[in-house]
Amino acid sequence: MAASFGVSSAAAANAVKSPALSPPSLPVIRSEARPISCRVNKSRKAGKITTKAVAAQAENPASAASKPGHEVLLFEALREGLEEEMERDPRVCIFGEDVGHYGGSYKVSKGLADKYGDLRVLDTPIAENSFTGMAVGAAMTGLRPVVEGMNMGFLLLAFNQISDNCGMLHYTSGGQFTIPTVIRGPGGVGRQLGAEHSQRLESYFQSIPGIQMVACSTPYNAKGLMKAAIRSENPVVLFEHVLLYNLKERIPDEEYVVSLEEAEMVRPGEHVTILTYSRMRYHVMQAAKTLVNKGYDPEVIDIRSLKPFDLYTIGNSIKKTHKVLIVEECMRTGGIGASLTAAINENFNDYLDAPIVCLSSQDVPTPYAGTLEEWTVVQPGQIVTAVEQLCR
Protein backbone atom coordinates (compact mmCIF):
# COMPACT_ATOMS: atom_id res chain seq x y z
CA MET A 1 0.00 0.00 0.00
CA ALA A 2 1.38 3.40 -0.89
CA ALA A 3 2.05 5.77 2.00
CA SER A 4 0.67 9.29 1.96
CA PHE A 5 4.02 10.81 2.84
CA GLY A 6 6.64 12.83 1.05
CA VAL A 7 9.35 10.17 0.92
CA SER A 8 8.98 6.36 0.70
CA SER A 9 11.01 3.78 2.66
CA ALA A 10 14.51 2.97 1.32
CA ALA A 11 15.27 -0.39 -0.29
CA ALA A 12 16.97 -3.15 1.66
CA ALA A 13 20.77 -3.26 1.63
CA ASN A 14 23.24 -5.89 2.81
CA ALA A 15 24.39 -5.69 6.43
CA VAL A 16 26.76 -7.73 8.56
CA LYS A 17 25.03 -9.70 11.28
CA SER A 18 26.24 -8.72 14.74
CA PRO A 19 27.54 -11.22 17.30
CA ALA A 20 25.11 -12.41 19.93
CA LEU A 21 24.98 -10.45 23.15
CA SER A 22 24.46 -11.97 26.59
CA PRO A 23 20.75 -11.79 27.44
CA PRO A 24 19.53 -10.73 30.87
CA SER A 25 17.96 -13.45 32.99
CA LEU A 26 14.34 -13.12 31.92
CA PRO A 27 11.53 -15.67 31.52
CA VAL A 28 10.96 -17.11 28.06
CA ILE A 29 7.62 -16.89 26.24
CA ARG A 30 7.05 -18.82 23.05
CA SER A 31 6.03 -17.00 19.90
CA GLU A 32 4.16 -18.87 17.18
CA ALA A 33 6.27 -21.00 14.87
CA ARG A 34 6.97 -19.60 11.43
CA PRO A 35 8.83 -20.70 8.30
CA ILE A 36 12.04 -18.75 7.95
CA SER A 37 13.36 -19.94 4.62
CA CYS A 38 11.40 -17.17 2.90
CA ARG A 39 11.63 -13.45 3.53
CA VAL A 40 7.97 -12.84 2.78
CA ASN A 41 5.47 -13.24 5.62
CA LYS A 42 3.23 -16.30 5.27
CA SER A 43 0.18 -17.48 7.18
CA ARG A 44 0.95 -19.57 10.21
CA LYS A 45 -0.67 -21.06 13.25
CA ALA A 46 -0.06 -19.66 16.71
CA GLY A 47 1.57 -21.55 19.52
CA LYS A 48 0.11 -21.89 22.99
CA ILE A 49 0.00 -18.70 24.99
CA THR A 50 -2.00 -17.89 28.06
CA THR A 51 -4.15 -14.87 28.75
CA LYS A 52 -1.48 -13.13 30.78
CA ALA A 53 1.45 -14.32 28.64
CA VAL A 54 2.93 -16.48 31.39
CA ALA A 55 6.36 -17.97 30.71
CA ALA A 56 6.33 -21.28 28.83
CA GLN A 57 8.81 -24.15 28.73
CA ALA A 58 11.70 -23.63 26.32
CA GLU A 59 12.15 -25.80 23.21
CA ASN A 60 14.34 -28.89 23.30
CA PRO A 61 17.90 -27.66 22.48
CA ALA A 62 18.57 -30.65 20.21
CA SER A 63 15.52 -30.02 18.00
CA ALA A 64 16.15 -26.27 18.00
CA ALA A 65 19.72 -26.73 16.79
CA SER A 66 18.54 -28.65 13.73
CA LYS A 67 16.40 -25.78 12.44
CA PRO A 68 17.74 -22.94 10.27
CA GLY A 69 18.16 -19.46 11.66
CA HIS A 70 18.63 -18.58 15.32
CA GLU A 71 16.37 -18.11 18.32
CA VAL A 72 15.99 -14.69 19.89
CA LEU A 73 13.70 -12.96 22.32
CA LEU A 74 11.81 -9.97 20.99
CA PHE A 75 14.01 -7.42 22.77
CA GLU A 76 17.07 -9.17 21.34
CA ALA A 77 15.56 -9.01 17.84
CA LEU A 78 15.11 -5.26 18.26
CA ARG A 79 18.74 -5.01 19.37
CA GLU A 80 19.89 -7.01 16.35
CA GLY A 81 18.03 -4.65 14.06
CA LEU A 82 19.56 -1.63 15.77
CA GLU A 83 23.07 -3.04 15.72
CA GLU A 84 22.92 -4.11 12.09
CA GLU A 85 21.76 -0.65 11.04
CA MET A 86 24.43 1.07 13.17
CA GLU A 87 27.03 -1.17 11.52
CA ARG A 88 25.64 -0.45 8.05
CA ASP A 89 25.15 3.31 8.41
CA PRO A 90 27.40 5.50 10.63
CA ARG A 91 24.67 8.16 10.72
CA VAL A 92 22.44 5.99 12.95
CA CYS A 93 22.57 7.03 16.62
CA ILE A 94 20.51 6.46 19.77
CA PHE A 95 19.16 9.02 22.25
CA GLY A 96 17.45 8.30 25.55
CA GLU A 97 17.58 7.79 29.29
CA ASP A 98 19.89 4.94 30.36
CA VAL A 99 20.32 3.70 26.78
CA GLY A 100 24.12 3.70 27.10
CA HIS A 101 26.08 1.52 29.48
CA TYR A 102 22.95 0.42 31.36
CA GLY A 103 21.56 -0.88 28.04
CA GLY A 104 18.10 0.66 28.14
CA SER A 105 15.18 -0.06 30.46
CA TYR A 106 14.51 -3.38 28.66
CA LYS A 107 18.09 -4.01 27.44
CA VAL A 108 17.35 -3.24 23.79
CA SER A 109 20.59 -1.23 23.48
CA LYS A 110 22.74 -3.40 25.75
CA GLY A 111 26.36 -3.47 24.63
CA LEU A 112 25.96 -0.86 21.89
CA ALA A 113 27.63 1.95 23.85
CA ASP A 114 30.72 -0.21 24.36
CA LYS A 115 30.85 -0.99 20.64
CA TYR A 116 29.98 2.38 19.13
CA GLY A 117 30.86 4.90 21.84
CA ASP A 118 29.00 7.39 23.99
CA LEU A 119 28.35 9.86 21.17
CA ARG A 120 26.40 7.37 19.04
CA VAL A 121 24.61 5.87 22.04
CA LEU A 122 23.89 8.98 24.05
CA ASP A 123 22.62 8.86 27.62
CA THR A 124 20.41 11.86 28.23
CA PRO A 125 18.96 13.62 31.26
CA ILE A 126 15.36 12.89 32.26
CA ALA A 127 13.99 15.45 29.81
CA GLU A 128 11.95 13.88 27.01
CA ASN A 129 11.12 17.18 25.35
CA SER A 130 14.79 18.16 25.23
CA PHE A 131 16.33 14.96 23.85
CA THR A 132 13.48 14.42 21.37
CA GLY A 133 13.98 17.95 20.11
CA MET A 134 17.72 17.30 19.91
CA ALA A 135 17.01 14.20 17.83
CA VAL A 136 14.88 16.25 15.43
CA GLY A 137 17.71 18.71 14.99
CA ALA A 138 20.17 15.86 14.44
CA ALA A 139 17.89 14.42 11.75
CA MET A 140 17.69 17.80 10.03
CA THR A 141 21.49 17.87 9.75
CA GLY A 142 21.69 14.38 8.20
CA LEU A 143 21.83 11.92 11.10
CA ARG A 144 19.31 9.11 11.63
CA PRO A 145 18.46 9.16 15.36
CA VAL A 146 16.54 6.49 17.24
CA VAL A 147 14.79 7.92 20.30
CA GLU A 148 13.93 5.55 23.15
CA GLY A 149 11.23 6.49 25.61
CA MET A 150 11.81 4.63 28.86
CA ASN A 151 8.03 4.28 28.82
CA MET A 152 5.84 5.47 25.97
CA GLY A 153 3.71 7.40 28.45
CA PHE A 154 6.71 9.63 29.21
CA LEU A 155 6.80 10.74 25.57
CA LEU A 156 3.70 12.83 26.20
CA LEU A 157 6.25 15.33 27.53
CA ALA A 158 7.68 15.44 23.99
CA PHE A 159 4.35 15.71 22.20
CA ASN A 160 5.19 19.16 20.80
CA GLN A 161 8.47 17.90 19.34
CA ILE A 162 6.82 14.80 17.85
CA SER A 163 3.86 16.71 16.41
CA ASP A 164 5.06 20.19 15.44
CA ASN A 165 8.63 19.18 14.60
CA CYS A 166 8.81 15.51 13.53
CA GLY A 167 5.48 15.49 11.76
CA MET A 168 5.42 18.87 10.11
CA LEU A 169 8.95 20.11 9.36
CA HIS A 170 9.18 18.33 6.00
CA TYR A 171 6.05 20.20 4.92
CA THR A 172 6.66 23.55 6.62
CA SER A 173 10.21 23.72 5.23
CA GLY A 174 8.91 23.24 1.71
CA GLY A 175 10.67 19.89 1.46
CA GLN A 176 14.07 21.30 2.44
CA PHE A 177 14.34 18.93 5.41
CA THR A 178 13.51 15.31 5.99
CA ILE A 179 13.20 13.97 9.54
CA PRO A 180 14.37 10.31 9.42
CA THR A 181 13.72 9.69 13.11
CA VAL A 182 12.52 6.56 14.90
CA ILE A 183 10.64 7.01 18.17
CA ARG A 184 10.25 3.75 20.08
CA GLY A 185 9.72 2.30 23.52
CA PRO A 186 7.60 0.05 25.75
CA GLY A 187 3.92 0.67 26.26
CA GLY A 188 0.62 -1.08 26.82
CA VAL A 189 -0.93 -2.69 29.87
CA GLY A 190 1.71 -4.69 31.70
CA ARG A 191 1.36 -6.38 35.05
CA GLN A 192 0.24 -3.92 37.70
CA LEU A 193 2.31 -1.02 36.43
CA GLY A 194 -0.35 1.52 37.35
CA ALA A 195 -2.27 3.98 35.22
CA GLU A 196 0.60 6.25 34.18
CA HIS A 197 2.80 3.35 33.04
CA SER A 198 0.05 1.45 31.22
CA GLN A 199 -0.90 3.92 28.52
CA ARG A 200 -1.52 3.21 24.84
CA LEU A 201 -0.41 6.26 22.90
CA GLU A 202 -1.50 5.06 19.46
CA SER A 203 -4.67 7.13 19.76
CA TYR A 204 -2.68 10.22 20.76
CA PHE A 205 -0.26 10.10 17.83
CA GLN A 206 -2.49 8.84 15.01
CA SER A 207 -3.87 12.29 14.19
CA ILE A 208 -0.42 13.88 13.69
CA PRO A 209 0.15 14.59 9.98
CA GLY A 210 3.42 13.34 8.52
CA ILE A 211 4.34 10.47 10.83
CA GLN A 212 4.00 6.73 10.33
CA MET A 213 3.08 4.32 13.12
CA VAL A 214 3.82 0.59 13.35
CA ALA A 215 3.39 -1.97 16.13
CA CYS A 216 5.57 -5.08 16.41
CA SER A 217 4.18 -8.34 17.74
CA THR A 218 6.82 -11.05 17.06
CA PRO A 219 10.63 -11.15 17.14
CA TYR A 220 10.59 -11.55 13.34
CA ASN A 221 8.58 -8.43 12.60
CA ALA A 222 10.19 -6.50 15.48
CA LYS A 223 13.61 -6.74 13.84
CA GLY A 224 12.28 -6.18 10.32
CA LEU A 225 10.21 -3.16 11.32
CA MET A 226 13.09 -1.65 13.30
CA LYS A 227 15.40 -1.86 10.28
CA ALA A 228 12.77 -0.49 7.90
CA ALA A 229 11.92 2.37 10.26
CA ILE A 230 15.58 3.41 10.56
CA ARG A 231 15.96 3.40 6.77
CA SER A 232 12.77 5.37 6.17
CA GLU A 233 13.00 9.07 5.33
CA ASN A 234 9.81 9.63 7.34
CA PRO A 235 9.51 9.92 11.13
CA VAL A 236 8.27 6.54 12.42
CA VAL A 237 6.78 5.70 15.81
CA LEU A 238 7.45 2.05 16.69
CA PHE A 239 5.17 0.69 19.42
CA GLU A 240 6.51 -2.20 21.51
CA HIS A 241 4.36 -3.96 24.10
CA VAL A 242 5.93 -4.38 27.51
CA LEU A 243 4.59 -7.95 27.86
CA LEU A 244 5.98 -9.13 24.52
CA TYR A 245 9.68 -8.45 25.06
CA ASN A 246 10.27 -12.06 26.12
CA LEU A 247 8.52 -13.72 23.20
CA LYS A 248 10.89 -16.23 21.62
CA GLU A 249 11.08 -17.14 17.94
CA ARG A 250 13.53 -18.38 15.32
CA ILE A 251 14.42 -15.70 12.80
CA PRO A 252 16.54 -15.89 9.63
CA ASP A 253 20.31 -15.55 9.79
CA GLU A 254 20.26 -13.58 6.55
CA GLU A 255 19.23 -9.95 6.48
CA TYR A 256 15.60 -8.97 5.93
CA VAL A 257 13.33 -5.96 6.37
CA VAL A 258 9.56 -5.83 6.87
CA SER A 259 7.41 -3.29 5.04
CA LEU A 260 6.17 -0.42 7.20
CA GLU A 261 2.90 -0.29 5.29
CA GLU A 262 1.71 -3.90 5.06
CA ALA A 263 -0.51 -6.00 7.30
CA GLU A 264 0.29 -9.65 8.03
CA MET A 265 -2.08 -12.52 7.35
CA VAL A 266 -1.72 -14.56 10.54
CA ARG A 267 -4.47 -17.10 9.89
CA PRO A 268 -6.56 -17.42 6.70
CA GLY A 269 -10.25 -18.14 7.17
CA GLU A 270 -13.71 -17.80 5.62
CA HIS A 271 -16.28 -16.79 8.24
CA VAL A 272 -15.13 -13.51 9.82
CA THR A 273 -12.20 -11.08 9.53
CA ILE A 274 -10.51 -10.33 12.86
CA LEU A 275 -8.23 -7.29 12.76
CA THR A 276 -5.80 -6.83 15.62
CA TYR A 277 -2.24 -5.83 16.51
CA SER A 278 0.45 -6.04 19.20
CA ARG A 279 -0.39 -8.10 22.30
CA MET A 280 -4.01 -8.64 21.27
CA ARG A 281 -2.75 -10.82 18.42
CA TYR A 282 -2.15 -13.55 21.00
CA HIS A 283 -5.51 -13.11 22.70
CA VAL A 284 -7.12 -13.43 19.27
CA MET A 285 -5.16 -16.56 18.39
CA GLN A 286 -6.06 -18.12 21.72
CA ALA A 287 -9.72 -17.37 20.98
CA ALA A 288 -9.30 -18.74 17.44
CA LYS A 289 -8.50 -22.20 18.81
CA THR A 290 -11.80 -22.23 20.68
CA LEU A 291 -13.67 -20.89 17.66
CA VAL A 292 -12.24 -23.60 15.38
CA ASN A 293 -13.36 -26.25 17.85
CA LYS A 294 -16.84 -24.74 17.67
CA GLY A 295 -16.90 -24.92 13.88
CA TYR A 296 -15.96 -21.34 13.01
CA ASP A 297 -13.19 -20.40 10.57
CA PRO A 298 -11.86 -16.93 11.51
CA GLU A 299 -9.37 -15.01 9.38
CA VAL A 300 -6.86 -13.19 11.57
CA ILE A 301 -4.88 -10.19 10.33
CA ASP A 302 -2.19 -8.37 12.32
CA ILE A 303 -2.58 -4.89 10.85
CA ARG A 304 0.96 -3.89 12.05
CA SER A 305 0.82 -0.58 10.17
CA LEU A 306 -1.31 1.67 12.37
CA LYS A 307 -0.83 4.63 10.06
CA PRO A 308 -1.44 4.27 7.17
CA PHE A 309 -3.72 1.22 7.23
CA ASP A 310 -3.10 -1.53 4.68
CA LEU A 311 -6.58 -1.28 3.17
CA TYR A 312 -5.59 -3.58 0.31
CA THR A 313 -5.07 -6.60 2.56
CA ILE A 314 -7.94 -5.63 4.85
CA GLY A 315 -10.31 -5.03 1.93
CA ASN A 316 -9.56 -8.34 0.24
CA SER A 317 -10.35 -10.15 3.46
CA ILE A 318 -13.63 -8.29 3.96
CA LYS A 319 -14.70 -9.08 0.39
CA LYS A 320 -14.28 -12.76 1.29
CA THR A 321 -15.77 -12.93 4.82
CA HIS A 322 -18.22 -9.96 4.81
CA LYS A 323 -17.91 -9.63 8.60
CA VAL A 324 -15.37 -7.68 10.69
CA LEU A 325 -14.29 -7.86 14.30
CA ILE A 326 -11.62 -5.41 15.53
CA VAL A 327 -9.72 -6.31 18.70
CA GLU A 328 -7.40 -3.75 20.27
CA GLU A 329 -5.87 -2.81 23.60
CA CYS A 330 -6.24 0.88 22.76
CA MET A 331 -9.04 2.93 24.33
CA ARG A 332 -12.44 2.70 22.70
CA THR A 333 -12.99 6.44 22.34
CA GLY A 334 -10.85 7.84 19.53
CA GLY A 335 -8.70 4.71 19.33
CA ILE A 336 -7.19 2.83 16.40
CA GLY A 337 -10.34 0.72 16.23
CA ALA A 338 -12.49 3.79 15.77
CA SER A 339 -10.33 5.04 12.89
CA LEU A 340 -10.23 1.58 11.33
CA THR A 341 -14.01 1.28 11.59
CA ALA A 342 -14.42 4.59 9.79
CA ALA A 343 -11.98 3.57 7.04
CA ILE A 344 -13.75 0.26 6.46
CA ASN A 345 -17.19 1.86 6.36
CA GLU A 346 -15.99 4.46 3.86
CA ASN A 347 -14.27 1.96 1.56
CA PHE A 348 -15.97 -1.43 1.96
CA ASN A 349 -19.44 -0.76 3.32
CA ASP A 350 -21.13 -2.53 0.38
CA TYR A 351 -19.28 -5.77 1.22
CA LEU A 352 -20.43 -5.93 4.86
CA ASP A 353 -23.24 -8.27 5.87
CA ALA A 354 -23.23 -7.09 9.49
CA PRO A 355 -22.16 -4.00 11.45
CA ILE A 356 -18.48 -3.83 12.42
CA VAL A 357 -17.83 -4.93 16.00
CA CYS A 358 -14.94 -3.36 17.92
CA LEU A 359 -13.61 -4.73 21.21
CA SER A 360 -11.41 -2.19 23.00
CA SER A 361 -10.09 -1.40 26.45
CA GLN A 362 -12.44 0.41 28.76
CA ASP A 363 -12.22 4.19 28.92
CA VAL A 364 -10.80 4.25 32.43
CA PRO A 365 -7.33 4.70 33.89
CA THR A 366 -5.73 1.26 34.18
CA PRO A 367 -6.14 0.07 37.80
CA TYR A 368 -3.15 -1.15 39.79
CA ALA A 369 -5.05 -4.14 41.24
CA GLY A 370 -4.38 -7.17 39.03
CA THR A 371 -7.97 -8.40 38.82
CA LEU A 372 -9.32 -4.96 37.98
CA GLU A 373 -6.53 -4.42 35.47
CA GLU A 374 -7.50 -7.63 33.67
CA TRP A 375 -11.15 -6.54 33.49
CA THR A 376 -10.24 -3.35 31.61
CA VAL A 377 -8.56 -5.27 28.75
CA VAL A 378 -10.21 -7.50 26.12
CA GLN A 379 -9.97 -11.19 27.02
CA PRO A 380 -10.19 -14.26 24.72
CA GLY A 381 -13.63 -15.22 26.01
CA GLN A 382 -15.05 -11.89 24.88
CA ILE A 383 -13.60 -12.46 21.41
CA VAL A 384 -15.25 -15.87 21.16
CA THR A 385 -18.61 -14.43 22.19
CA ALA A 386 -18.33 -11.55 19.71
CA VAL A 387 -17.60 -13.91 16.81
CA GLU A 388 -20.50 -16.18 17.75
CA GLN A 389 -22.86 -13.22 17.74
CA LEU A 390 -21.50 -11.89 14.43
CA CYS A 391 -21.85 -15.25 12.70
CA ARG A 392 -25.40 -16.05 13.78
Point out the residues that are catalytic: 128, 197
Closest CA to 219 of 178, 182, 258: 258
Rounded distance between C-alpha atoms, residue 301 and residue 313, angstroms? 9
First vs last C-alpha separation in the chain: 33
What is the enclosing helix (H) or strand (E) of 94? strand 92-96
Rounded distance between C-alpha atoms, residue 327 and residue 5, angstroms? 27
Cβ neighbours around 17 below 10 Å, total = 14
Rounded distance between C-alpha atoms, residue 134 and residue 152, angstroms? 18
Rounded distance between C-alpha atoms, residue 299 and residue 84, angstroms? 34
Beta strands in 174-282 (DSSP E): 182-187, 212-215, 236-241, 247-251, 264-267, 272-276
CA dihedral 201, 207, 208, 211 (to 10 degrees): 80
Cβ neighbours around 72 below 10 Å, total = 23
| Beta pairing partners, 236 | 182, 212
Rounded distance between C-alpha atoms, residue 245 and residue 350, angstroms? 40
Cβ proximity of 247 and 65 under 8 Å: no
Cβ neighbours around 97 below 10 Å, total = 20
Cβ proximity of 82 and 238 under 8 Å: no
Closest CA to 148 of 110, 113, 186: 186
Rounded distance between C-alpha atoms, residue 120 and residue 92, angstroms? 7
